[in-house]
């Protein structure tokens, strides 16, 4: 696959994952998120680690010790600014 395309698709994939979380009332368990993201388990883990590292999502645990993923303020900001981000990257061919 074209390297340029692949690097831009990464931003798109992050956008898709964040959108799935938001569309589930901002709370979703990792397994359904993996299923809905259409990624391999390995890729999903990579993306999830990246999202946690970039502070776009956070893990929360409920009283029954079940893990959920939820967007941070930065995650919401990413969704809000996504089109501008893509526009900027395209305009300056970054």
CB 52 within 8 A of CB 44: no
| Unique residue bearing structure tokens 């901002």 | 26
Of 16-45, which residues contact other proteins (CB under 8 A)? Answer: none
Q: Any contact of residue 47 with other proteins (CB under 8 A)?
A: no
Binder among 29, 35, 54, 67 for other proteins (CB under 8 A): 54
Instruction: Please give the helix or strand (H or E) that residue 67 lies within, else none.
Output: strand 67-71
- Name the token pair of 73: 């303020």
Binding part of the chain for other proteins, among 3-11, 25-33, 35-43, 60-68 by CB under 8 A, reads: 3-11
Binder among 1, 3, 25, 64 for other proteins (CB under 8 A): 3
The string of DSSP codes covering 53-68 is HTTSEEEEE-TT--EE
Using CB under 8 A, list all residues that contact other proteins. Answer: 3-4, 7, 11, 54, 56, 74, 77-78, 81, 84-85, 87-89, 91-94
């Amino acid at each position: 696959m074209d390297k340029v395309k692949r690097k831009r698709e990464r931003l798109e994939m992050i956008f898709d994952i964040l959108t799935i979380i938001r569309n589930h009332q901002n709370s979703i368990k990792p397994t359904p998120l993996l299923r809905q993201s259409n990624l391999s388990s390995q890729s999903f883990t990579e993306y999830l680690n990246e999202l946690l590292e970039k502070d776009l999502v956070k893990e929360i645990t409920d009283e029954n010790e079940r893990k959920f993923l939820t967007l941070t303020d930065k995650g919401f900001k990413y969704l809000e600014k996504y089109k501008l981000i893509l526009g900027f990257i395209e305009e300056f061919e970054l």
